[in-house]
Chain A
């Protein structure tokens, strides 16, 4: 095995994020002013952006490439998520600098851990074999455990850290057990080698040659365990219990990071593993995912109605949204017409979801940081006290409901379309009914903001850079909702790498 310059070039976006994390943490020792450290972290994120663009222009001419003997696949699908992660991270840094001042004097480590975790998230969609999946998953989730418990004077934060830790450890073990069975059955860990290996097992079983121990059963058990293991990361029912607790207890920027960046990468790796590795048994897992999608969105939406804490509400909303996204994963058509529709819809919706969820989290972060009140009732009178913030939160919630002309509407339309294309009309109908159901709790927040008066005189102001982050995310909601064409074409090109 030899590692060349080419391999290092292909992972230069991740490498530069890791180097930036080290720079940020060590700069903190030398510089007294925290503002400088944050500025370096934000501006430094331009480096992985530029590296990503140069890798992208390279593979546009030479085609998708692999690094480290196939351990990493660098194609447009992987790059789509690298850009998404870096953008989310930059906006998160801008909006959370005020919130993070409560961690004084440990702000730099907060940003450093976020950077390290996002390096894992950037590697995940590029994973070419199961070892890489496992290592990057752990690289992404170990820093998040520390981040969830970062507010160490607050008991809820420690509880969130402990819960995330326990569930991520158990889910990793389940996932690995599944990997072990897949490895035992196929004799390989490379995703691309699964395709010939799994049908070969089926052939051998039909001929009555039992040279492979537990052949067919091992694949089946492996797939079920892998779905369960990933289920925790995607927060789909019945593996969703940790989500609301962690969202409520963790510092708000960390909850936003989990809801947006971490979820996007988890969906990316699920698409990669199931569409390139396990597509010979697609008829089994696509039905499994379809049923889980229907249950997930229903459970998420129904429980969300009863919530009184805004962050918890967003936690249940994230579960319901995971259900919608899972529809796109389930919409596998194989060699049927438009096989890329499902993946394309997931990729597009993930970008739109990042925009709307970040807007919601940023406003909630700004408000709760000032008032210290995380209940929905605490938002009363926002329409008068902070008209612009109230309008932006309203826009984000309308988009999460799926009302035109926002990106949430277009994105859901594509997801339903993908489900119908895969002959799953029932799933699209359940999704539609769920959208109606979700309007109840999303719009009741809007009602509290505008129609309920409050004697709370606190006015909410924000620093300029936080406004800049909010401007980007809220414009993205409208721009992607009105002109989805450009991003959709990028998503389609990325999706074609997997089919």
Chain B
């Protein structure tokens, strides 16, 4: 079997949906963050595959994938700081319990 672009697209779409499901269904804030990572990596696969199958010598897709990885690292750093703070105050990272505003 030869790997074609469509295979990568299907893999990426499956990963993205898995991530989206995780964001919606997971209760732990840390797990939600990991699900977001899954979504971002699905995007990266998509970008790199598109770029590689179109013209292997032009690396625009790979470049933006590297940008995405870098920004995601910064985002996670900030996220863990906020979650740490919440955990120290409340002893929980359950997103259902972190809900003090209604209306």
Contacts and interface: CB of A to CB of B under 8 A. Distances in A.
Interface of A: 130-131, 134-135, 138, 142, 145-146, 149, 152, 155-156, 158-162, 165-166, 169-170, 172-174, 176-177, 179-181, 183-184, 187-189, 213-214, 244-245, 248-249, 306-309, 312
Nearest to A188: B60
A189 B103 contact: no
Contacts of A170: 20, 23, 36, 39
Given A146-B82, A165-B82, 16 more contacts: A131-B63, A158-B89, A160-B101, A162-B82, A166-B95, A172-B75, A173-B36, A174-B39, A176-B43, A180-B50, A183-B47, A213-B6, A213-B53, A245-B101, A308-B103, A309-B103
Given A135-B71, A249-B101, A149 B85 contact: yes
Contact of A159 (B42, B81, B101, B103): B101
Contacts of B47: 180, 183
Contact of B68 (A174, A176, A214, A249): A176
Contact of B67 (A135, A166, A248, A309): A135
Contacts, number: 121
Residue picked from A145, A160, A177, A244, most chain B C-beta under 10 Å: A177
Interface residues of B, number: 47
A169 B50 contact: no
Contacts of A173: 16, 19, 36, 39-40, 43
A169 B68 CA distance: 12
Nearest to B38: A173
B33 interface: yes
Contacts of A249: 101
B46 A177 contact: yes
Contacts of A158: 82, 85-86, 89, 98
B5 interface: yes
A291 to B, nearest CB: 23
26 contacts: A138-B75, A142-B74, A146-B78, A146-B81, A149-B82, A158-B85, A158-B86, A159-B98, A159-B101, A160-B101, A161-B82, A162-B83, A162-B98, A165-B75, A165-B79, A166-B36, A166-B95, A169-B33, A173-B16, A173-B36, A174-B39, A179-B64, A180-B50, A213-B9, A245-B101, A307-B103
Contact of B78 (A142, A308, A312): A142
Residue picked from B6, B20, B60, B90, most chain A C-beta under 10 Å: B60
Interface of B is mostly: helix
Nearest to B93: A162
B9 to A, nearest CB: 7
Residue picked from B23, B63, B68, B103, most chain A C-beta under 10 Å: B103
A187 B47 CA distance: 10
Given A146-B78, A169-B79, A159 B40 contact: no
B64 A131 contact: yes
Residue picked from A160, A213, A244, A306, most chain B C-beta under 10 Å: A213
A16 to B, nearest CB: 23
Contact of B85 (A152, A169, A213, A312): A152
A165 B74 CA distance: 12
Interchain residue pairs A-B with the least CB separation, the first 3: A184-B50, A173-B39, A180-B46
A191 B14 CA distance: 28
A166 B32 contact: yes
A177 B103 contact: no
Contact of B101 (A146, A156, A166, A177): A156
B71 A134 contact: yes
A183 B60 contact: yes
Contacts of A160: 101
A177 B39 contact: yes
Interface in B21-75: 23, 29, 32-33, 36, 39-40, 42-43, 46-47, 50-51, 53-55, 60-61, 63-64, 67-68, 71, 74-75
Nearest to A247: B101
A162 B103 contact: no
A179 B43 CA distance: 9
A117 B64 CA distance: 21
Contacts of A142: 74-75, 78
Contacts of B53: 213
A155 B23 contact: no
Contacts of B29: 162, 166
A436 B85 CA distance: 44
A213 B9 CA distance: 10
A204 B32 CA distance: 41
Contacts of B9: 213-214
Contacts of B61: 180, 183
